[in-house]
A and B are shown apart, each in its own frame.
Chain A
């Protein structure tokens, strides 16, 4: 194919800033991890709240939660990102919109990406939480109520802690997904791992080395997450459920 391999390119110095191309990739890795972890926190929190709301015996509350899930789950991630980044500032009152657009571009991109990934993933977490709660035997809620807990207390002390422990395995895949989905944010100019990889191609024309390095870094993230979540899974396993002892 006539490709000119050159792995040393990773250690060559980049044209600006006195760093190597590898440092570019590592700074991208840092941004990818920061963005994904902060979005994951938001998704976990919002997703748990919405997941509970979906199961409460109140038509209005569960209706709101259902609408929330359908909106954030059914609009493609890329479209959502463009709405947050390009459309929203134009819809805001012009003072606020302009103020946002004058921020440091990197901050604008990060905020849009964070909110976008957070909402998108929260809808998916919400469905997992709902499934977890619904998988519990009816008796648990009834027992909690019979003991004199109010409805919020039954959720707070009985249903949610049980449900969250049950859904650790499917949550792991959502957690892995958020890292991979974060690559979409390179389309608004955020210099995360995928974007840095592409930039490396632009500057050095060494496409294969760069993409292979980026792929390995994503794999590295995923292996770390998988190992960590396996530990969490062991620690939180409910005795008597799903192979727990």
Chain B
């Protein structure tokens, strides 16, 4: 009698909690009312989120984001959920999430405490180190070799910040060029305006995949930082964040993520069919075992 009572209370409470979480979440309500979820993606963050030659969005992060869309659709019991794709840049992604233009952005966005003041981050989807790409014959082996040289990085990234700080702390006297996206940074490197391009290692391998001759380039240097990529969501929306976190955690613990990882990092990918050969790091293995949303800085 008492136990059944307890169970009944528990069921009632959990149902209340469920409906409460669905209602508390402004994002879920918006998605339900409009029948549309708006997804923020990148245009040239290979292999995370980018256009293939048919101008379709593909990539590792994008695939995870589509899993979230399925989960949202199931949670809201919608027969049909339209997706609206919205390209974002390093510079506009935070305001666009805040003002509701996009509901979720999965690309190559670093989760850090500064950004957490403005937006929320899901469970980490990738961990990178910041390194350098340079011509194989440039003679550059590590960061100290950059003294007095022109170095390019993408505006609005954590690499830009680290590079400026390094320049000041170590008195390297580098000229730092801030290009507007990764494609333009690589163009700056390729045309000889800069001797090296500092960026997240995975993205550097991605840029290599676009190069005219991938074999001309090398990724070198001691990683200057480790960073955790997460999907960006609006702040103070625990209902939506829970669905996103659970979806990512489930994909990781079930081992499905390894299939997705291998597809994008260990096999040939568009646009040139290059294989990045980016072996799963220890950090990533630990993440897959124990999904979490911790920022490194």
A interface, CB within 8 angstroms of B: 1-4, 15-17, 86, 89-90, 98, 101-102, 104-106, 108, 186-187, 189, 191, 195, 198-199, 201-208
Contact = CB atoms under 8 A, between A and B. Distances in A.
A230 B167 CA distance: 46
Given A189-B177, A204-B114, A90 B191 contact: yes
B118 A1 contact: no
Contacts of A199: 155-156, 178
Question: Most chain-B Cβ atoms within 10 A of its Cβ — which of A17, A104, A204, A207?
Answer: A207
B191 A101 contact: yes
Given A1-B99, A17-B168, A205 B155 contact: no
Nearest to B151: A105
Contact of B234 (A2, A15, A89, A191): A2
Contact of A2 (B114, B150, B193, B235): B235
16 contacts: A1-B98, A1-B99, A2-B234, A2-B236, A4-B117, A101-B191, A101-B192, A105-B150, A186-B180, A199-B155, A199-B178, A201-B91, A202-B155, A203-B161, A205-B94, A207-B98
Main secondary structure of the interface of B (DSSP, over half): mixed
Contact of A189 (B94, B167, B180): B180
Contacts, number: 77
B146 interface: no
B241 to A, nearest CB: 13
Contacts of A108: 193
Question: Most chain-B Cβ atoms within 10 A of its Cβ — which of A4, A106, A186, A189?
Answer: A189
Nearest to A106: B175
Contacts of A191: 178
B43 to A, nearest CB: 15
B191 A202 contact: no
Interface in B101-159: 114-115, 117-119, 150, 155-157
Nearest to A202: B156
Given A15-B161, A86-B187, A105-B177, A198 B94 contact: no
Nearest to B94: A205
Contacts of A187: 180
Contacts of B192: 98, 101
B164 interface: yes
Contact of B164 (A15, A98, A204): A15
Contacts of B114: 203-205
A101 B236 CA distance: 48
B95 interface: yes
Contacts of A202: 90-91, 155-157, 160
Given A201-B156, A206-B118, 9 more contacts: A15-B165, A16-B167, A101-B193, A102-B150, A108-B193, A187-B180, A198-B155, A201-B95, A207-B98
